[in-house]
A = this chain, B = another copy of it.
Amino acid sequence: MHAYTASRISLPSHSAQPGLPETFDPAPAQPVSFFAAGAEIYAQGEKAGAFYQVEFGAVRIYRLLADGRRQISAFHLAGETFGFEADSTHHFFAEAINATGVRVLRLATGAEMARQLLPLALKGLTRAQEHLLVLGRQNAIERVAAFLVDMAERQGGLRQVELPMSRMDIGDYLGLTIETVSRVFTRLKDKGVIRLLNLRSIEILKQDALHCMSE
């Protein structure tokens, strides 16, 4: 049982992005906030009133038990959206994993907003439910394999996969300890399924084998 102590590492600079070239956004330009690695985007219990789109970097969404055990329910990479809640309160914590920029989208109320948000909420629901299957019924190898397959898909299905998060983050996402995550990485490496380019990026050598392991 490992304890996790949350700490506000640095404050975001809530200012609009000035002069960077950007892809065209049909919605009226919204401010982009920057967060340093480990910075809190919002906390459980805080008032919710916006949702967020990742411009660059990566975000972890998590919850804590009283004794510090942490469960990360989702990672969000560039282009993905998070932060909507059932009521006007955040039920989870959101933190930047690395230096991260998020576009803050103020919540309009009304049917048009619901129309935009619903598909995102439903996609998130499906993702969460699929993750339940992993946590409830898969063993350590299957969990890590499923995680790598998912990360690979979200990065365009390339052989090389960037893992912006630490082993502890991966463990807290998969319901495992860092030691077990590490051991499974080693086993996959020894089997020739993956290659560790460095701590934060892997190459998938046997796509089929990995898919197979993830069930």
**A interface residues, Cβ below 8 angstroms from B:** 61, 63, 65-67, 69-71, 73-74, 84-86, 91-92, 110-112, 114-115, 117-119, 121-126, 128-133, 135-138, 172-175, 215
A-B contact pairs, 26 of them (CB 8 A): A63-B130, A63-B133, A65-B137, A65-B215, A66-B215, A69-B137, A70-B137, A71-B137, A73-B132, A73-B133, A85-B126, A86-B125, A91-B126, A91-B129, A91-B130, A110-B115, A111-B111, A111-B114, A114-B114, A114-B115, A115-B115, A117-B118, A118-B121, A125-B128, A128-B128, A131-B132
- The answer, among B66, B92, B121, B129, for a CB contact under 8 Å with A92, is B129
| Minimum C-beta distance from A116 to chain B (A) | 8
Chain B residues with CB under 8 Å of A135's CB are 132, 135-136, 175
User: B115 near A111 (CB under 8 angstroms)?
Assistant: yes
A86 and B172 CA atoms in complex are apart in Å by: 26
Give Cα distance in the complex from A119 to B121, angstroms: 9
A108 to chain B: closest CB distance in Å?
A: 12
Which residues of the other chain, B, contact A63 by a CB distance below 8 angstroms? 129-130, 133
Instruction: Please name the residue on chain B nearest to A117 by beta carbon.
Output: B118
In the complex, A108→B37 CA distance in Å?
Answer: 44
Find A138's partner among B65, B117, B128 (CB 8 Å cutoff).
Answer: B65
Instruction: Please pick, from B65, B130, B133, the residue contacting A133 in the complex, using a CB distance under 8 A.
Output: B65
Q: Within 8 Å CB of A138, what residues of B?
A: 65, 69
Q: How far, in angstroms, from A102 to B137 measured CA to CA in the complex?
A: 29
